[in-house]
Amino acid sequence: MRRLQLLILAVVLVVAAFSTGEPFLFFLVYLGILVGGGSYILTRLGLANLEAGYAVNQLTGYVGDRLRITYTLRNTGRLPKPWLEVHNPTSLPGGLPGRAVSLGGRHERSWMVRMALTRRGHFRIDPLQIRTGDPFGFFEASAGVGHGITLVVYPRVEALPLWRLPPANIEGAHASPERTMQTTPLATTVRPYAPGDSMNRIHWRTTARLGEIQVKEFELEQTADAWLFLDLDEAFAAGQGDNSTTEVAVRAAASIASKALDENRAVGLTVSGHRLTVLPADRGPRQRLKILQLLAAVEADGRTPLTEALVTGVGRLRRGMTAIVITASQDPSFIRPLAVLHGRGIGAVVILLDVAGFDPDPDEAGAEAQRQRSRAMRHALAEYELTTYVLGPDQPLAEALAR
């Protein structure tokens, strides 16, 4: 619109100058040509001989980490760049701050932006946008630099030093590390040779390095593996932000899975979100990455009842595993499918989110009804002797699971 107004004014001025022959009008025409032409040339040269880029210190991170982005602008020409606006469009919460800078001839500017990662998810950082213009605002030029990147923010993983899975009901296995005289796949350390040690336990490389015979020590294989059922039914979602039932449940799932994988257990995961998603049980860093990537993207938009998810997934559980259910559900129908697992040698643990604490009803009668439903759910779980942990808002996960 502004350019159109200037164009109309210029046409009127030129017509008036040639119609009247007034010297002052011709002076204004020449002045306008000089200012307009100079502004156009200045804008066109504003992005010439300019090198720019940005570098991100990490493409993945956890909630609570700090992202560092380093920007660099370099003017390889002799003419100065009086005004450059640099900005990175992004879907990160809060966005990334832009900056207006000026560059002298053959000068370089660098700066760093630090940003806290406050929300899990998959986010996009678009190519760097550089904009310049003339002092009068008549013309503008912009350019995109580099390629966009995807940043994955994983849920925060909390340490669970006192969390223990029930022991496996399998002979020759144990739920926690235990030394054994048997030879197992878990060789953990070496020690000096003692009379009676078998020759096949000698660790020859350490023996050669130390100059005395060293033998391997083994632990019993841990087969008390875990299968997590994360219930994200939107009907029972409550709370806001980091203290919502969704975020606390996802944090609990990530922390428990990480703890089990650190203990060399196989971990499987079923998420009843927008659709029922199943990760087969596996162990190791690759399984950890799969679980974290899935948990980074899930939302409380599930419509599959927890009972259905349990009935569908019970066939994947084998003797010696532990089913860990993380839910805010106040529908006790899921308890019976869990209770029958004990007869098959499968443990069951329920991590129940206290909906009444996350979203208290402002109406006293409604709040009391909500508390009664929560008490009834805990009572029903106790009747079937299911191990239950209750999680509330602003409660450290390690403290709740240590009770």
Other residues' Cβ atoms within 10 Å of the Cβ of residue 286: 9
Q: What are the backbone dihedrals phi and psi of residue 173, each rounded to the nearest 5 degrees, phi first?
A: -130, 165
Q: Which residues of the chain have pLDDT under 50?
A: 168-182, 184, 220-222
* pLDDT tens for each residue of 179-216: 444 454 556 678 888 887 777 788 888 888 888 888 88
State residue 156's pLDDT score.
94
**Could you check whether 50-154 and 226-401 share the same CATH topology?**
no
CA distances from 400 to 62, 279, 281 (A): 22, 26, 26
State residue 294's pLDDT score.
95
Which phi-psi region, left, alpha or beta, contains residue 6 (left: φ > 0; alpha: ψ -120 to 50)? alpha
3-state secondary structure 253-310: HHHHHHHHHHCCCCEEEEEECCCEEEEEEECCHHHHHHHHHHHHHCCCCECCCHHHHH
Other residues' Cβ atoms within 10 Å of the Cβ of residue 349: 21
Residue with tokens 């982005």: 69
Give bridge partners of residue 150 from the DSSP assignment. Answer: 124
State residue 174's pLDDT score.
44
- Sequence-ordered alpha helix ranges (H) in 46-187: none
State residue 3's pLDDT score.
67
State residue 218's pLDDT score.
63
State residue 45's pLDDT score.
85
The domain ranges of the chain are 50-154, 185-219, 226-401
* Secondary structure of residue 14 in the 3-state scheme: helix
In angstroms, the CA 80 to CA 177 distance is 67
The pTM assigned to this predicted structure is: 0.77
Which phi-psi region, left, alpha or beta, contains residue 387 (left: φ > 0; alpha: ψ -120 to 50)? beta
Q: Which of 254, 176, 273 is nearest to 221 (CA)?
A: 176
- Please list, residue by residue across 154-181, b when 16 or more beta carbons sit within 10 angstroms of its beta carbon and e when fewer do: bbbbbebeebebbbbbbeebbbeeeeee
Q: Which two tokens stand for residue 123?
A: 């986010």
User: Where are any strands of DSSP class E within 298-386?
Assistant: 322-327, 347-353
Other residues' Cβ atoms within 10 Å of the Cβ of residue 308: 14
* pLDDT tens for each residue of 337-368: 888 887 788 889 999 998 888 876 666 676 77
In angstroms, the CA 237 to CA 253 distance is 16
50-154 CATH pick, 2.60.40.10, 1.10.8.60, 1.10.645.10, 3.30.930.10: 2.60.40.10
Compute, in degrees rounded to 10, the torsion defined by CA atoms 391, 392, 393, 396: -50
Other residues' Cβ atoms within 10 Å of the Cβ of residue 378: 14
CATH topology of domain 226-401: Rossmann fold (3.40.50)
| Beta strands 121-125; 108-116: pairing state | unpaired
State residue 167's pLDDT score.
54
